[in-house]
Amino acid sequence: MREEQERQHGLKRQSGPVAERWIKPIEGDERDFLLLLVFVYLQHEMLDRAQAIIEAMLEAGDGSREAVLAQAVIAFCKKNYEKTLEVLARLDRVDPIERYGRRTLTDRQRMRTYLRARSLYELGGDMQATVDLYIRHRDFEGGEEERAERR
């Protein structure tokens, strides 16, 4: 039994047609169940288990916005704010927030904005710029001078 597990584990890490048979993208109900399991683990503060599942999903080729958002939430819960910003930047490439479309943000978009604003604040960002980012959903790159001009 153990030899079979080691053989499968070894195949997973190799590249080529044999290894591709062992790793398949997670789709449909399987993906929904795993994301639900991650959510439950996050509620019970089992961050390592949630992270292991998300990393496995990403390794298996699930680059969906839900999986990347879950990775950002896990990094945020672990207080790894730099990684949170890095994952949110990747999420912006996968699923950009439209700035000129709707006047109100969805719950998912508001959560992303909150994660970004709070991470910037925890990394020593300007408090006023952080609040402006969260409330008005826009970036202030010029600092105090540009913010004063916009008022």
Give the per-residue pLDDT at 100.
62
Q: 115 or 22: whose pLDDT is higher?
A: 115
In a domain, 88, yes or no: no
Residues 6 or more apart in contact with residue 60 via CB below 8 angstroms: 23, 24, 25, 26
Give the per-residue pLDDT at 110.
84
Range of the domain at 142: 97-151
- Residue that terminates a domain, selected from 33, 53, 80: 80
- Residue that terminates a domain, selected from 27, 54, 80: 80
Does the structure show a pLDDT above 90 at 121? no
Same domain, 57 and 102: no
The CA R_g of the chain, rounded to the nearest whole Å, is: 19
Q: 118 or 19: whose pLDDT is higher?
A: 118
DSSP state of 95: S
Q: Confidence class of residue 139 from pLDDT cuts 50, 70 and 90?
A: very low
Same domain, 75 and 12: yes
Q: 63 or 53: whose pLDDT is higher?
A: 53
Residue-wise DSSP of 97-138:
PPSSS-SS--HHHHHHHHHHHHHHHHTT--HHHHHHHHHH--
Q: CA-CA distances (angstroms) from residue 146 to 107, 117, 132, 149, 150?
A: 29, 18, 12, 5, 6
Among 3-12, 45-54, 73-82, the least confident range: 3-12
In a domain, 86, yes or no: no
Same domain, 5 and 66: yes
Nearest to 135 by CA among 95, 91, 105, 100: 105
Q: Report the distance separating Cα 125 and Cα 102, nearest Å.
A: 27
Q: What is the mean pLDDT of the chain?
A: 77
Give the per-residue pLDDT at 83.
96
In a domain, 73, yes or no: yes
Same domain, 101 and 63: no
Give the per-residue pLDDT at 1.
52
Q: How many separate domains does the chain show?
A: 2
